[in-house]
């Protein structure tokens, strides 16, 4: 992946689309990186609204990311780095929960690889969509082993136990289906996540509402998900739609996921001519690059972070259980969330402009700035995170290739490098909360 700025012709084309084209474009994978590159060009020119870019710090970021990768996978295990995905979160604490789950199904008589893949896709689907930030205080105590887990890994383990208890299905078999999701209550989710007065999680009702909505839209697409609206039936759809028996297309998977997820997101998200466009937001930096007569979509930066996180995660069971490979995987971007974004703030590559920092600190009543998820500053931070991940990715792979350590994919660098590095910097700089350097009010359906 070579990071190139958009041409003037490309920018003009973005500005002149019709409303129908606008929506289709903003829902596409290509739009995410296209728009972020325009923001990057503004950053290099010193025209960001909320941040200042310090490009001289990017080698430091790349070197730190490499040090984390080499510490955990050096000197000769780089080829064992898994792609970024939900699978690893289920194995927190060194417990092979997915392998154990698969073995239990095989012992119960389910040995068909396609059905095993369907079951994992069912599990990963709901688990990823529940994984939108747990807050700094929530913890989950695993019933079987007694380990205590937090954040993404805690949500993964909690969702696995709920899945095993058939919390997301009306079937008596391990699965997820539309009717089961439609009937999910916030109370059931709170019980499954062990919530109490002293153990709270952000946005439980919003998460439950998201899964209920998802259930309705899964049932509305029987051509993909079957009459029962089972997420795992996307396995059959992908295999049937493939032109090559060994290869599946990320772009086909993306379009299917966007079709079912976009209507499922909360109704207060951005719309274009009344059409919802999901995790895509107005951004002043983009708006300043547009002509006065351009469409309203010209100033929108799309992210679709949870859909991308889900796409990364769903590819893995296809690879490991069905030996499928994926084409167009390079269309996926880095994930614009607080761990990746926090890395660049903590290492000084991005700094808030003084007046923005002052406003955020005042809002939090403390030392760290606080903003709403849809605030211009957060949208700009996420857009810059996309571009910074591309730039640092290139630096990382060039430095590692020069050292004879092979070429890693973006998914591998996200997994073993940037996301982990961001978490470690947060723990180092804020050991009590381990939180991001910029705080975000979240409803539990975005990050």
Angle value at C-alpha 151, between 380 and 172, nearest 5 degrees: 115
Q: How far apart are CA 162 and CA 90, in angstroms?
A: 13
Let me know: does 350 contact 380? Beta carbons within 8 Å.
no
Q: What pLDDT score does 3 carry?
A: 45
Give the pLDDT score at 133.
73
Candidates 189, 67, 51, 55; CA nearest to 132 is 189
Task: Find all residues with CB under 8 Å of 398, minimum gap 6, and list them.
Answer: none
Residue 15: per-residue pLDDT: 47
Percentage of the chain beyond pLDDT 90 is: 84
The single-letter DSSP state of residue 163 is H
Quote the strand ranges of 41-185, DSSP E: 51-53, 140-141, 148-149
pLDDT confidence bin for 5, thresholds 50/70/90: very low
Distance of alpha carbon 208 from alpha carbon 421, whole angstroms: 31
**How many angstroms separate the CA atoms of 83 and 88, rounded?**
9
Tokens at residue 17, please? 């689309």
Gap between the Cα atoms of 3 and 124, Å rounded: 31
Question: Do 308 and 331 meet the contact criterion of CB atoms below 8 Å apart?
Answer: no
pLDDT value at residue 245: 87
Q: Could you report the per-residue pLDDT of 175-228, keeping only the tens digit for each?
A: 999 999 999 999 999 999 999 999 999 889 999 999 999 999 999 999 999 999
| Separation of first and last alpha carbons in the chain | 25
pLDDT tens-place string over residues 85-105 = 999 999 999 999 999 999 999
For residue 8, the model assigns a pLDDT of 52
Are 430 and 338 within 8 A, CB to CB? no
Q: How far is CA 324 from CA 91, 113, 131, 245, 315, in A?
A: 23, 12, 26, 8, 9
Beta strands in 100-219 (DSSP E): 140-141, 148-149
| pLDDT tens digits along 329-353 | 999 999 999 999 999 999 999 999 9
Lowest-confidence pick of 17-21, 26-30, 252-256, 396-400:
17-21
CA distance 301 to 126: 26
As a residue count, the chain comes to 447
**Could you tell me if 356 and 277 are in contact, meaning their C-beta atoms sit under 8 angstroms apart?**
no
Percent of the chain, pLDDT > 70? 95
pLDDT digits (tens, 9 = 90+) for 286-312: 999 876 656 778 899 999 999 999 999
What pLDDT, in 10s, does the model give residues 138-170?
999 999 878 999 999 999 999 999 999 999 999
Using an 8 Å Cβ cutoff, are 372 and 440 in contact? yes
Q: Name the region of 444 (left: φ>0; alpha: ψ -120 to 50; beta: rest).
A: left
- d(CA 151, CA 320) in angstroms, rounded, equals 26
Q: Do β-strands 148-149 and 350-352 pair in parallel, antiparallel, or remain unpaired?
A: unpaired
- What's the gap between Cα 316 and its chain centre? 15
Q: Are 120 and 317 in contact (CB under 8 A)?
A: yes
Task: Please tell me the chain's helix, strand, coil percentages from 3-state DSSP, rounded to the nearest 5.
Answer: 60, 10, 35
Q: What is the pLDDT of residue 4?
A: 52
pLDDT of 172 > 90? The answer is: yes
Tell me: pLDDT of 1 over 70.
no
Token output for 46 = 């010193």
The rounded Cα 252 to chain-centroid distance in angstroms is 18
User: For the chain, what is the mean pLDDT?
Assistant: 92
According to the model, what pLDDT value does residue 224 have? 97
What is the pLDDT averaged over residues 372-383?
97
- Cα separation of 34 and 8, whole Å? 12
pTM above 0.75, yes or no: yes
- At residue 16, the pLDDT reads 47
Using 50, 70 and 90 to split pLDDT, how confident is the model at 19?
confident
């Amino acid at each position: 992946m070579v990071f190139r700025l958009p041409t003037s012709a490309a920018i003009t084309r973005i500005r002149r689309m019709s409303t129908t084209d606008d929506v289709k474009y903003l829902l596409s994978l290509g739009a995410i990186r296209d728009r972020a590159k325009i923001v990057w060009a503004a950053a290099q020119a010193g025209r960001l609204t909320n941040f200042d870019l310090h490009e001289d710090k990017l080698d430091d970021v790349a070197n730190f990311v490499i040090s984390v990768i080499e510490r955990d996978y050096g000197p000769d295990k780089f080829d064992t780095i898994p792609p970024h995905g939900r699978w690893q979160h289920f194995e927190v604490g060194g417990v092979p929960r997915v392998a154990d789950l698969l073995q239990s199904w095989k012992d119960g008589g389910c040995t068909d690889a396609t059905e095993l893949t369907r079951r994992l896709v069912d599990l990963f689907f709901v688990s990823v969509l529940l994984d939108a930030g747990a807050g700094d205080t929530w913890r989950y105590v695993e019933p079987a082993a007694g380990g205590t887990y937090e954040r993404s890994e805690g949500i993964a383990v909690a969702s696995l136990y709920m899945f095993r208890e058939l919390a997301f299905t009306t079937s008596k078999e391990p699965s997820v289906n539309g009717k089961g999701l439609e009937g999910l209550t916030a109370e059931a989710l709170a019980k499954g996540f062990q919530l109490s007065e002293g153990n709270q999680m952000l946005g439980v009702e919003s998460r439950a509402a998201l899964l209920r909505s998802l259930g309705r839209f899964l049932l509305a697409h029987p051509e993909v998900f079957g009459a029962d609206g089972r997420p795992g039936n996307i396995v059959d759809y992908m295999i049937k739609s493939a032109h090559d028996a060994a290869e599946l297309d990320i772009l086909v998977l993306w379009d299917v996921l966007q079709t079912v997820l976009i209507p499922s997101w909360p109704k207060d998200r951005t719309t274009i001519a009344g059409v919802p466009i999901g995790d895509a937001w107005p951004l002043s930096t983009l708006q300043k690059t547009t002509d006065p007569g351009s469409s309203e979509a010209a100033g929108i930066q799309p992210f679709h972070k949870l859909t991308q996180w889900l796409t990364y995660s769903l590819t893995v069971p296809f690879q490991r259980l069905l030996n499928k490979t994926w084409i167009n995987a390079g269309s996926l971007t880095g994930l614009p969330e607080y761990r990746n974004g926090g890395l660049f703030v903590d290492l000084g590559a991005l700094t808030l402009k003084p007046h923005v920092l002052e406003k955020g600190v005042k809002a939090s009543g403390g030392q760290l700035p606080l903003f709403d998820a849809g605030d211009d500053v957060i949208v700009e931070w996420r857009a810059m995170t996309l571009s910074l991940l591309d730039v640092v990715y290139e630096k990382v792979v060039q430095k590692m290739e020069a050292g004879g350590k092979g070429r890693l994919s973006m998914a591998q660098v996200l997994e073993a490098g940037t996301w982990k590095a961001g978490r470690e910097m947060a723990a180092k700089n804020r050991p009590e909360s381990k939180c991001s350097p910029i705080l975000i009010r979240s409803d539990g359906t975005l990050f």
